[in-house]
């Protein structure tokens, strides 16, 4: 179905950009019943919302004319939650209204406010900005809303989440009462509905998102990861996909550390977090959009509203805190009809949390193992055999050079040189542990559980040791999580723990021994190795026996004494 747009200037812009058919949200806002009305729209990220409201506004500000009228004060005000999104909206409206002569300005935090003020005084048709900066310009008299015919709130739910309610109410109250108000949000929560009732009049409700449905163009995967190998698994996923990726971390420190580590491994990486200046953030985005960077590591706040064309892969290095964050992160890929992949990295103790998150988002994920170096080498071989250089017709100069090379070296040597050159830029894959599926228990049996029910003693288990004892204040409260993390197991697979002066011995269930030994051998924070049973080598020493799951007794009066009943190790 072609775009229901008749204005020649807009049609020309759409054709030039290759727009042939409207998306569902674009069709909805251009329908006859939406013409001239306030709109309350819920739509997925990447569904073409900016073009949708840009076209919906045309009848209000252009009418039948092909060029924008002369004006000093702006006719349209667009409010976006973040600098990145505001600048993206500015860029989209600029090409859409290119042939109308529209003057479109952006006003965002982190940019030169004095320059923005000068441009505003010079007159414009559209102003796109963030709430705080727009409020500041209005209060200083730089921005007049007296001629505004339409106000657009883009990603309204994000603006409320970021605490911009006061600024939004100030701006909307300052705009003329007879304006159109178009409110776009991923979901229409109670706060959004209240905002709409206050500042919209007879709004048409448009819902292009089925309730609780994840993005249809995104494939969800959950990767089983040993807790201490998160970075190694991330490296292998990036290598296996060999495409541009966006990696989400929970904190700025995590972004900084991961960015530095990926750069050290040979990846071209960019970082996005709130501590960066606007110039640094712009440089990071430009590097990713122009393919000068393969991967971008970001916090949730820095990536709100981010639009990266042709982004194929999103990786959740840290699990999202809720369903909305999960869907928002994942929605950075699979945009405008393209397919994308959203990957959750799930260590054993986070399995239950990941399952809850996926269920709440109604997203069906495939549980998979991380790519191994062998898997990656196979993919590298496949990509090399299908390299464009092998199917393109070579130039005359290239053929002449090839003939000279064949006179100096055997074809096998030349081919080997081609392989070496083609793969020289690829970072080395990492060795990773493949966890058995049964190692990922639910939270009820994970190391994080706090159940007080005693568990049965592990039968026929194997013993291991770690060089941490009473002299190092060894305590089951932190020993049990350390053992779980080191070996990629759960609390249920740990038997008796015996704490001695300079070491601790513990028992691992027989079915988990092989996986535990392999994973623990690669653990870098504490050395864990197989050991003989306590009675075989400590018959002369007094140990402290602890069973995970039992509450410990209160400490004795004498410091340094074991907190459980001392027992004499049996010979």
> Measured in whole angstroms, how far is the alpha carbon of residue 71 from the centre of its chain?
42
Handedness of CA 559, 564, 565, 566 (dihedral sign): negative
User: What distance in Å separates the CA atoms of residue 249 and residue 475, rounded to the nearest whole number?
Assistant: 31
Residue 544 is predicted with a pLDDT of 53
Query: Does the residue 453 lie in any domain?
Result: yes
Query: Are residues 100 and 226 both part of a single domain?
Result: no
Which domain range does residue 485 map to? 437-568
Over residues 527-537, the pLDDT tens digits come to 899 998 887 54
Give the whole-angstrom CA distance, residue 204 versus residue 28.
Answer: 10
106, 168, 332, 489 from 273: Cα distances, Å = 21, 24, 16, 33
* pLDDT greater than 50 at residue 212: no
Query: Do 130 and 145 fall within a single domain?
Result: yes
**pLDDT in the model for residue 549:** 45
Choosing from 396, 422, 448, the residue where a domain stops is: 422
Q: Is 141 helix (H, G, I), strand (E, B) or coil?
A: coil
Q: Are residues 357 and 266 in the same domain?
A: yes
Last residue of a domain, one of 188, 207, 226: 207
Among 392, 422, 452, residue at a domain's last position: 422
CA distance 341 to 484: 30
Q: Could you tell me if residue 3 is inside a domain?
A: no
Same domain for 51 and 134: yes
Structural domain includes residue 431: no
pLDDT of 569 over the 50 cut: no
- Please indicate, yes or no, whether residues 127 and 143 belong to a single structural domain of this protein: yes
Return the closest-CA partner of residue 371 out of 253, 517, 225, 152: 225
Q: Is residue 160 part of a domain?
A: yes
Asked if residue 454 lies in contact with residue 549, where contact means CB atoms within 8 angstroms, the answer is yes
Q: Check whether residue 70 and residue 192 sit in a common domain.
A: yes
The predicted model gives 454-462 an average pLDDT of 61
Instruction: Find out whether 318 and 459 touch, Cβ atoms under 8 Å.
Output: no
Does the predicted TM-score (pTM) go above 0.85? no
Question: What number is the average pLDDT over the span 373-384?
Answer: 92
Same domain, 149 and 265: no
In a domain, 390, yes or no: yes
What pLDDT digit, counting tens, does each position of 160-210 carry? Answer: 877 899 999 999 999 999 999 999 987 777 888 888 999 999 899 998 765
Establish if 22 belongs to a structural domain. yes
Q: How many domains does the chain have?
A: 4
What's the sign of the alpha-carbon dihedral 374, 375, 380, 381? positive
Q: What CATH number has the domain bearing residue 361? A: 3.40.50.300
428 in a structural domain: no
Domain co-membership, 20 together with 145: yes
Each residue of 278-325: pLDDT tens digit?
A: 778 888 888 888 888 989 999 987 666 677 767 889 999 999 988 878
Are 47 and 22 in the same domain?
yes
């Amino acid at each position: 179905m072609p775009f229901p747009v008749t204005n020649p200037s807009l049609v020309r812009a759409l054709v030039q950009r290759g727009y042939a058919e409207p998306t569902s949200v674009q069709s909805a806002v251009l329908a006859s019943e939406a013409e001239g009305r306030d709109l309350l729209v819920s739509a997925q990220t990447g569904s073409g919302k900016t073009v949708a409201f840009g076209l919906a506004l045309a009848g209000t500000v252009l009418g039948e004319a092909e060029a924008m009228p002369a004006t000093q004060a702006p006719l349209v005000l667009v409010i976006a939650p973040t600098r990145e999104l505001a600048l993206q909206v500015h860029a989209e409206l600029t090409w859409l209204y290119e042939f109308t002569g529209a003057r479109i300005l952006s006003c965002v935090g982190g940019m030169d406010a004095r320059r923005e003020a000068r441009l505003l005084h010079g007159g414009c048709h559209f102003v796109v900005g963030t709430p705080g900066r727009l409020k500041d310009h209005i209060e200083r008299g730089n921005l007049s809303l007296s001629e505004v015919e339409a106000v657009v709130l883009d990603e309204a739910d994000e603006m409320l989440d970021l605490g911009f309610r006061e600024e939004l109410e100030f701006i909307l109250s300052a705009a003329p009462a007879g304006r159109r108000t178009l409110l776009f949000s991923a979901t229409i929560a109670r706060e959004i509905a209240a905002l709409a009732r206050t500042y919209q009049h007879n709004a048409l409700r448009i819902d292009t998102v089925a309730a609780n449905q994840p993005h249809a163009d995104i494939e969800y995967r959950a990767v089983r990861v040993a807790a201490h190998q998160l970075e190694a698994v991330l490296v292998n996923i990036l290598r296996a996909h060999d495409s541009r990726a966006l990696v989400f971390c929970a904190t700025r420190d995590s972004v900084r550390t991961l960015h530095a580590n990926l750069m050290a491994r040979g990846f071209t990486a960019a970082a996005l977090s709130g501590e960066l200046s606007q110039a640094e953030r712009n440089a990071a985005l430009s590097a990713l959009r122009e393919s000068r960077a393969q991967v971008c590591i970001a916090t949730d706040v820095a990536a709100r509203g981010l639009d990266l064309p042709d982004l194929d892969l999103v990786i959740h290095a840290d699990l999202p805190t809720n369903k909305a964050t999960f869907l928002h992160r994942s929605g950075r890929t699979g945009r405008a009809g393209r397919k994308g992949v959203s990957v959750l990295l799930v260590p054993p103790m986070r399995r239950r949390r990941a399952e809850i998150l996926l269920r709440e988002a109604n997203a069906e994920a495939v549980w998979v193992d991380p790519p191994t170096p062998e898997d990656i080498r196979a993919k590298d071989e496949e990509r090399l055999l299908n390299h464009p250089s092998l199917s393109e017709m070579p130039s005359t100069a290239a053929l002449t050079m090839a003939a000279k090379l064949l006179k100096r070296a055997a074809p096998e040597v030349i081919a080997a040189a081609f392989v070496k050159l083609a793969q020289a830029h690829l970072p080395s894959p990492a060795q990773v542990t493949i966890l058995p599926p049964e190692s990922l228990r639910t939270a009820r049996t994970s190391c994080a559980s706090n159940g007080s029910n005693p568990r049965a003693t592990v039968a026929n288990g194997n013993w291991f040791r770690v060089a941490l004892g009473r002299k190092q204040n060894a305590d089951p409260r932190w020993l049990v999580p350390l053992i779980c993390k080191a070996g990629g197991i759960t609390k249920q697979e740990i038997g008796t723990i015996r704490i001695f002066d300079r070491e601790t011995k513990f028992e691992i269930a027989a079915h988990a021994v092989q996986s535990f030994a392999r994973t623990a051998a690669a653990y870098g924070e504490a050395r864990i190795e197989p050991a003989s049973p306590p009675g075989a080598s400590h018959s002369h020493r007094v140990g402290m026996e602890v069973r995970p799951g039992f509450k410990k007794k209160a400490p004795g009066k004498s410091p340094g004494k074991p907190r459980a009943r001392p027992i004499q190790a049996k010979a």
